Amino acid sequence: MGARVDLGQLESRLNIEDYKKLQSIFLGTVDTPRSLSRTEFIEQAWSSIGRGSKEEYGLLFDSVVVTQEHRGLLLDSADVMGEGSIDWEGLSSFLLLELSEKAEHARARNVPRWKQPRTLTSPHRDPVQQVLYLRSSGKYLTVSKGGTLGLRAGEDLSLLQTHRLQNNSVRPKDLWVTDAVLLHNVHKIAVSFTSKEVCFYDLLSKQEFSCQYKLQGLKFVPWCLDYWADPSHPDLAVLTIGDTGGQVSAICFSSAQIALFERPSPGAEPESTDIVKWEELVQGKHRCCYTLTHRAHAQAWVRRVCFLGSLEAFASCSTSPQISMVIAWREKEVGSLRVTSFHTPRGIRDLDHHPGLNLIATAGVDHQVLLWNPYVISEPVGVLSGHTSSVTAVRFIQSKKQLLSYSKDKLLCLWDVSSQLCVHRLAGVFPKTQEDTHTLLFLHEERQHLLLSFNSLLFLLEARREEKRITSHEHPVTCVLYNSLFRQVVSSDSASSVVCWLADTGQKVKHFHRCHGNAEISTMALDSTQTRLFTAGTDGEVKVWDFNGHCHHRLNPGRGRSVDISQLLLLKRSILVMGWERMLTVFRLPSFSQFFVEPSEWKGGVQHRDHVLCAAFQSPQTLVTGDYDGEMTVWNSSTENALRKLQTHAQHGEHQTQLGGADLVSCGGSGVVRFWCARHGRLVGQFTAHNRELGSIVMTVSPCSKYLVTADAEGTLKTWDIQEYCLQPGGGLTDEPPKLVCSLRPHLDCVTHLETCIHGDRLLLLSASTDCSVALSYLPGGTVGVFGQEEHWRLEGLGPPHPEQEQGDGGQENSRHGASESLPTPPETHPDLGPHTPPEEGQRGVKPEGEEAGEEREMEIRVDIGEPLSSMHGHSPKGSRILGRSHKEGRCPRVIDGKPSHTDTPSNPDIAAKAAFDERSLFPKEILELEKRQREPWNLPEENTNLWERKQEGKNNQSTARGHGWKDR
């Protein structure tokens, strides 16, 4: 990945007059063009325009130089500063390119913000075959396989009335509709049946949906229909039919608004049905229309047909690999077609055409969405990868140059066509159905309605109206982390970008592009040294980076497949990856001697019935995993053996009074938060944090386990005080919620990730959202701002101090008095220490009985999970987090609850303060040197590893959360 210089908002604030003044400074005394050095440009531009700061003009100069020299270096790199010169031609070219890119990105950033999905009342018992929008009345019409019509209101899609189609050719129980299409210019609908007929029903007749024409004599069953009318000449129209015999037939009307077909006799009754034979059309007996046919698909069923009016061609597709898509071009001679064929590995289920871009999008059985130039048959011009199962539908959003695609695994993707990147992914909100469910996708662009059918079930997604918003990324944000070593915030988005921000001001520091190519970054993690960043992409890879943008390792959990990775969990000697299968994927320490790292076998095998989505770890060896069905399993992380399942309903018995308080919290798809005693495998408390209709929620717990923060799909954050919640052993199941401290809404759309951190003496909350923003808030309440906003903030002296630091010695004394029963925080520890606290003060505490004093902790005791789980008995946990508190039969807590120490940080704060600043890396030089000397043996030979372990065993009275850095290549 490469970093690029960010211009901020200077060029956006300049107007035409400012640009004229900027141009004048490059003209000499005789109006000859000249070049300016950095100092000359800053002084003259700043004094001439009188807008912006000198720093911004210096940044603009550096950006032009970097672009001209084709160097994607870090911001403020030393070899750029003070060198080079620019002229007006170079500056204007850079500004035009930059502004055009921003305009394109602004269009791509226009991602729909969906309202809460709704399941509509359905009158159908059979699968819905088609959804039509009646332009004349502004209503929707649904057609089912059994011939039932449902008329719906245009605004809220409420059911107005139902009707049953009549076809006297077959018995009602044998009626089978295959497709329907609206003939909008003549106020009719055409419906195809398995009886090899196409019936034309009049929408304006006295009798509702009376059959006016019936086309009979087709050789094969008509399977799909399409209708096109010339906007400038409504009499010219084309009805296209694709059948089960691989034939594509078209009826071209020349006077559609007068009559589609000629009536057999003048004396026929107006309301009677006219029978039209296909042979009559082929023989030209109807002068108002003629037919075109081809059988390029051989015997394969035609899945979709479409007439491309701008190209005068017919496009069709099938699931045959040999002839996946066919374009038949109309020749000047009436009745002739020129056919071209396109091939894909496993065939095509659906297609759509964008006239403005002249692109055809196809839904592949091989999980890929392909973009084709109709004139190029050799290969597609674009490949959109991101689906993990067969793609069933594609639809262009014509006005935004975007594409919607839907796959059988219930994943909806929104693609920016120009960049061929996925800008939005929606999953986990669709109803759970069987794999062979018939699914239909209908998009009404003007009303921003997206209707999906799952057999007879109708599902509505409606986009909210656009609101002015501040964005941090150009695409939906997927994850946010806090780097305590560099005091920066790290965020990722669906366009495979990673951005670093200064927590003190909200300024962007670095922007790394295309970390996983075109694949979305689904989650991230930092090692405990805070010098290595792990990114997981939907391409099935996990990459290990340093903060200079160098990739040190590539992990292959997907084994070459595109998979959805929901979480990375870093333990002391292994890395767990999960999200797409029922078993954990593990990478062990010895594997990191190579650049490409393959997974090892998880010894515990398969213990879940559905995909494992999240996990939490508690020292010394307790691991809890949760799956899509809401089932959670407790493991021994050392032996990798499953110990017990967590049961939703606690068993009340004589040993109930011996159970401890809560040490694990989980949440999920129904807005319910649950507290567990993981040691005994019992549920001890639960409450509804958000509206169940809002779907999945995410959560995080503050470092001291005092606050629980939850967030929903509407961008609302709630802070709960859980310091004394569910701590009394044997108290039974608690249904009462904890105290709600604060509720705020910093986002306009779904919150995807939450992270708490201690920055200086402030307890802060980071939140990421699909509205493309990363927000910073105080805990327990109060918003600081959004990263990327024009006005930078200053955290010094603002906001409430850390709540634990307000308690004096008296507060600590009071905590000790209740230690015999249950405590939220161990008395001998400092749970919320800052990142520069020496290990001997912040990382030591009372050890569990039987644990050696020198045993090291594995990572951090609290592990945040931010990916969705499905229901557990109707309630879906969204994630799990092990709390920093424990109770063992009424004894004093024995778990350490401190932030991980960083072995790379100098123990003497004066050294860190006086560290030389490296302009190239933005990191203190002493820190990098210490990190290099004190690196733990991820990449060392085996003999060096054993030697290092023996040295570590000799250190007494140390309990650290020390992580492992990777050796620079």
Please tell me the least confidently modeled range out of 243-247, 867-871, 937-941. Answer: 867-871
Tell me the residue type at 419: S
Q: What is the enclosing helix (H) or strand (E) of 12?
A: helix 10-13
Are residues 703 and 837 in contact, defined by beta-carbon separation less than 8 angstroms?
A: no
CB atoms within 10 A of CB 181: 23
The structure tokens listed for 929 are: 């040197």
Q: How many H helices and E strands in the chain?
A: 12, 60
Average pLDDT over residues 165-172: 84
Nearest to 682 by CA among 653, 645, 708, 657: 645
Strands (E), 824-878: none
- 139 to each of 152, 461, 672, how far by Cα in Å? 6, 17, 37
Instruction: Give the HSE-up count for residue 502: Cα atoms under 13 Å, Cβ half-sphere.
Output: 13
pLDDT at position 760 over 60? yes
Look up tokens 């503050």; give the residue: 702
Distance CA 830, CA 719 (A): 22
Residue 375 binned pLDDT confidence (cut-offs 50, 70, 90) = very high
Higher pLDDT, 40 or 657: 40
Residue 949, SS3? helix
Under the phi-then-psi rule, with left for phi > 0, alpha for psi from -120 to 50, and beta for the rest, what region is 446? alpha
The pLDDT tens digits of the residues spanning 31-54 come to 677 888 888 888 888 888 887 788
Distance CA 99, CA 175 (A): 58
Tell me the residue type at 490: V
Q: Work out whether strand 488-493 and strand 739-744 pair parallel, antiparallel, or are unpaired.
A: unpaired
Compute φ and ψ for 529, nearest 5 degrees. -80, -10
Distance CA 105, CA 423 (A): 11
- 582 to each of 601, 609, 613, 714, how far by Cα in Å? 13, 6, 9, 30
Q: Which residues have a Cβ under 8 Å from the Cβ of 916 and sit 6 or more positions away?
A: 924, 925, 926
> How high is the pLDDT of residue 90?
83
CB atoms within 10 A of CB 508: 17
Higher pLDDT, 68 or 794: 794
- 691 to each of 665, 733, 843, how far by Cα in Å? 19, 21, 39
Looking at every residue in the chain, the average pLDDT score rounds to 78
The pLDDT tens digits of the residues spanning 835-863 come to 333 333 333 333 333 333 333 333 332 33
pLDDT at position 202 over 70? yes
Residue 27 binned pLDDT confidence (cut-offs 50, 70, 90) = confident
Look up tokens 């038949």; give the residue: 328
The pLDDT tens digits of the residues spanning 222-237 come to 999 999 999 999 899 9
pLDDT at position 799 over 90? no
Q: Could you give the strand order of the β-sheet that contains 2-3, starting from the edge strand earlier in sequence?
A: 2-3, 508-513, 498-502, 488-493, 477-483
The structure tokens listed for 329 are: 């071009």
> How high is the pLDDT of residue 781?
83
pLDDT at position 76 over 80? no
pLDDT at position 498 over 90? yes
> How high is the pLDDT of residue 467?
61
Q: Work out whether strand 337-342 and strand 139-144 pair parallel, antiparallel, or are unpaired.
A: unpaired
Residue 738 binned pLDDT confidence (cut-offs 50, 70, 90) = very high
The length of the chain, given as a count of residues = 969
Distance CA 648, CA 666 (A): 11
Q: What is the enclosing helix (H) or strand (E) of 877?
A: none
Nearest to 752 by CA among 593, 566, 535, 517: 566
The structure tokens listed for 132 are: 């039509």
What is the b/e burial string over 822-849, where b = at least 16 CB atoms within 10 angstroms of the residue's CB? Answer: bbbbbbebbbbbbbbbebeebbbbbbee
Q: Is 513 exposed, middle or buried (0-12, 13-18, 19+ CB in 10 A)?
A: middle
Question: How much of the chain exceeds pLDDT 70, in percent?
Answer: 74
Look up tokens 């990945």; give the residue: 1
- The DSSP-derived string for 64-77 is HHHHHTT----TT-
pLDDT at position 7 over 90? no
- 270 to each of 64, 235, 265, 631, how far by Cα in Å? 74, 21, 11, 64
Compute φ and ψ for 457, nearest 5 degrees. -85, 135
The structure tokens listed for 21 are: 């003044």
> How high is the pLDDT of residue 57?
84
Distance CA 244, CA 675 (A): 56
Alpha helices in 184-263 (DSSP H): none
Under the phi-then-psi rule, with left for phi > 0, alpha for psi from -120 to 50, and beta for the rest, what region is 195? alpha
DSSP secondary-structure letter at 729?
T
> How high is the pLDDT of residue 268?
55
The pLDDT tens digits of the residues spanning 927-949 come to 556 556 555 444 433 434 443 44
Dihedral Cα 200, 205, 208, 211, nearest 10 deg: -30
Alpha helices in 297-419 (DSSP H): none
pLDDT at position 887 over 50? no
The structure tokens listed for 808 are: 């004096």
pTM greater than 0.75 (yes/no)? no
Higher pLDDT, 22 or 957: 22
> How high is the pLDDT of residue 802?
60
Please tell me the least confidently modeled range out of 83-92, 362-371, 650-659, 812-821. Answer: 812-821
> How high is the pLDDT of residue 264?
67
Look up tokens 């608690």; give the residue: 734
Look up tokens 């018939």; give the residue: 438
Q: Is 813 exposed, middle or buried (0-12, 13-18, 19+ CB in 10 A)?
A: exposed
Average pLDDT over residues 238-250: 95
Residue 815 binned pLDDT confidence (cut-offs 50, 70, 90) = very low
Under the phi-then-psi rule, with left for phi > 0, alpha for psi from -120 to 50, and beta for the rest, what region is 912? alpha
- 773 to each of 57, 334, 469, 881, how far by Cα in Å? 26, 57, 9, 24
Dihedral Cα 502, 508, 509, 515, nearest 10 deg: 120
Distance CA 373, CA 244 (A): 27
Dihedral Cα 569, 572, 575, 579, nearest 10 deg: -30
Of 7-11, 403-407, 425-429, which has the strongest mean pLDDT?
A: 403-407
DSSP secondary-structure letter at 692?
G
Q: Is 588 exposed, middle or buried (0-12, 13-18, 19+ CB in 10 A)?
A: middle
Higher pLDDT, 205 or 616: 616
Kindly report the CA angle at 35 between 31 and 41, in degrees rounded to 5? 105
Residue 677, SS3? strand
- The DSSP-derived string for 459-492 is EEEEBPPP-----SSSS-EEEEEEETTTTEEEEE
Residue 267 binned pLDDT confidence (cut-offs 50, 70, 90) = low
Average pLDDT over residues 394-406: 92
The pLDDT tens digits of the residues spanning 95-150 come to 777 766 666 555 555 677 788 889 998 999 999 999 999 988 899 999 999 999 99
pLDDT at position 435 over 90? no
For residue 450, what are the β-bridge partners? 443, 461
Q: Is 550 exposed, middle or buried (0-12, 13-18, 19+ CB in 10 A)?
A: exposed
pLDDT at position 899 over 90? no
Tell me the residue type at 775: A
- The DSSP-derived string for 122-143 is ---SS-EEEEEEETTTTEEEEE
Q: Work out whether strand 177-183 and strand 188-193 pair parallel, antiparallel, or are unpaired.
A: antiparallel
> How high is the pLDDT of residue 70?
43
Q: Report CA 540 to chain centroid distance, whole Å.
A: 15
Higher pLDDT, 952 or 165: 165
Distance CA 483, CA 68 (A): 33
pLDDT at position 874 over 60? no
The structure tokens listed for 313 are: 């061609």
For residue 431, what are the β-bridge partners? none
